[in-house]
A and B are shown apart, each in its own frame.
Chain A
Amino acid sequence: MADVSGLRFSESHEWVKTEGDSAIVGITEYAQSQLGDVIYLELPSVGQHLDAEARLGVIESVKAASDLYSPVAGEVSEVNAELKDHPEYVNQDPYGKGWIVKLRGAKDNPKLLDQKAYDDFVQGQSHS
């Protein structure tokens, strides 16, 4: 099990790790398992400003295309260029080399869930 301490989660199944005003964003283990094989990501440009819960991009798996949302507001400082040739990293290591974007000037979003609350949320979803 990956180390997810210090991460916070959105109900749209992104995770965010903040350090000061910079943030790293990815999708959760649950999200990758639901999507299945990731084959393509459409990501924002560096410098683009994102509001919290704004559309960040699109993630495509063999099954379907799904929107990605930014868990926090901020400006895109880097996108994970490795995913262009290795989208499967999102499946293999969603909390590590499958990270998706980095943001600077990130602002807190009080609606985000801690790990316990997110796990409970996922439990509730999979039983609905």
Chain B
Amino acid sequence: MTAERTPLYDEHVRLGAQMTTFSGWTMPLQYTSIRDEHRAVREAVGLFDLSHMGELRIMDDALAQRVVTRDLRKLRTGRIQYALLCNDRGGIIDDVLVYGMADGDYFLVVNAGNQDRDFEWIRAQALKPSSAGAAQDDPVFNEGRDWTLIGVQGPRAPALVQRLTGSDLSAVKYYAFIEGRVADVPCVISRTGYTGEDGFEVFCGNHDAVRLWRALLDAGKPDGVQPAGLGARDTLRLEAGMRLYGNDMDAGTNPLEAGLEWTLNLDKDFIGRDAIVRAREHGLERSLVGLKMLDRSIPRHGYPVSADAQPVGTVTSGNVSFTLGYNIAMAYVPPALSEPGTSVAVEVRGTAAPAEVVPLPFYKRPHPK
């Protein structure tokens, strides 16, 4: 199967990006270097094409409440929640952002590789008789290929986007969004991101994609704007302790193990709730922790974790931390070894490389002055 291309594909090629296939999409891996792009986002501003991400719409309150782990009654219009979709065994099907568009209108941003599967799964829940009322018009829409999504991330991102819009962005708080115009392009402007920095994720129609992308690159020149690829996106999100679906969690992971209890509203009913409650009563077998490497070894996905020469767990994500200057990982270990300060080792090509459990996230952005 050929990989899909975003509306910005030609822009990436023109900018000299090295392209890669990710979740069925041809995406920029890097333009100049992952290190430089990473630094640009931490110190100035980076521009990401995120159009591979999926967008789904659920026009049914009861259905949306049943499929996401958060209580949507607490989601006000114009606000966003990070939430999970779980199967009936309590395993994580996907992690998503839920946008409160209006009463009974929820816009979900889902992982690229899961979008079609999420869509079919939510539709299947809609068709079950337990969903409220008799059969109505299909309330679930797959809009994944209708939207271009551009991430503008970094300490200078707010000033950059503000210069291109008449909307007052200081009124748009973290995890809130507005509809407005950026560079005269109609957009949804969302104060969210996957980098650990301040910034926006801007949705527009595909026909406006190139115009918006170029306007942001052009207007961002004095800010030192740098287009950034999936390579930097991964090293940035790892420093910020953000889980990557498929790496750090999957359908065999329950949210408690993944350290995502805060995304659960167990006092409402949702698919997977009962299994999660039972898992909590049983006690967890493992939990996701941060590891700081004490030597220069690079931990990688799948490397074994040991303690006292006994295997105890597995690395799910690991790399250099360009910002912190040491190497970091997320790993599953037994709860007894999950306290910060605990000594463990990562098996790197047969050698036990010393590591220490540290709190997540590894990196928190400095408070704005």
Q: Do A and B come from one complex?
A: yes
Residue of A nearest to B320 (CB): A39
Chain A residues within an 8 Å CB radius of B231: 36-37, 62-63
* Residue A14 interfacial (CB < 8 Å): no
Are A36 and B34 in contact, with the CB atoms below 8 A?
Answer: yes
CB of B42, distance to nearest CB on chain A (Å): 15
* Residue A88 interfacial (CB < 8 Å): yes
User: With A62-B231, A62-B235, A62-B319 known to touch, is A40 a contact of B35 (CB < 8 Å)?
Assistant: no
| Interface of A: prevailing SS | mixed
Which residues of chain B from 267 to 308 have any CB-CB distance to chain A below 8 Å in the complex? Answer: 296-298, 300
* Per-position 1/0 for B17-48, Cβ under 8 A of A: 01000000000011001110000000000000
Are A40 and B298 in contact, with the CB atoms below 8 A?
Answer: yes
CB of B322, distance to nearest CB on chain A (Å): 9
Are A40 and B296 in contact, with the CB atoms below 8 A?
Answer: yes
Are B298 and A91 in contact, with the CB atoms below 8 A?
Answer: no
Which residues of chain A from 15 to 71 have any CB-CB distance to chain B below 8 Å in the complex? Answer: 36-37, 39-40, 42, 58, 60, 62-65
* Residue B367 interfacial (CB < 8 Å): no
User: With A36-B231, A62-B231, A63-B231 known to touch, is A91 a contact of B300 (CB < 8 Å)?
Assistant: no
* Residue B369 interfacial (CB < 8 Å): no
User: With A62-B35, A62-B235, A88-B35 known to touch, is A36 a contact of B298 (CB < 8 Å)?
Assistant: no
| Pair count A-B, CB < 8 A | 36
* Residue B349 interfacial (CB < 8 Å): yes
Residue of A nearest to B303 (CB): A65
CB of A64, distance to nearest CB on chain B (Å): 8
Residue of B18, B30, B35, B235 with most partner-chain A CB within 10 A: B35
Are B34 and A65 in contact, with the CB atoms below 8 A?
Answer: no
Q: How far is the CA of A39 from the CA of B297 in the complex (A)?
A: 10
User: With A36-B30, A40-B320 known to touch, is A60 a contact of B298 (CB < 8 Å)?
Assistant: yes
Chain B residues within an 8 Å CB radius of A39: 298, 319-320
Are B349 and A58 in contact, with the CB atoms below 8 A?
Answer: yes
Q: How far is the CA of A40 from the CA of B300 in the complex (A)?
A: 13
Residue of A nearest to B30 (CB): A36
Residue of A36, A42, A62 with most partner-chain B CB within 10 A: A62
CB of A58, distance to nearest CB on chain B (Å): 7
B residues with a Cβ closer than 8 A to A are: 18, 29-30, 33-35, 231, 235, 296-298, 300, 319-320, 349
Q: A37-B231, A88-B35 are in contact. List 9 more A-B contacts (CB 8 A).
A: A36-B33, A39-B320, A58-B349, A62-B34, A62-B35, A62-B231, A63-B29, A84-B296, A91-B33
Closest 9 interchain pairs by CB? A39-B320, A62-B34, A37-B35, A60-B298, A37-B34, A37-B33, A40-B298, A40-B296, A62-B231
What are 16 inter-chain pairs, A to B, with CB distance below 8 A? A36-B30, A36-B33, A36-B34, A37-B33, A37-B34, A37-B35, A39-B320, A40-B296, A40-B298, A58-B349, A62-B35, A62-B319, A63-B29, A64-B300, A65-B298, A65-B300
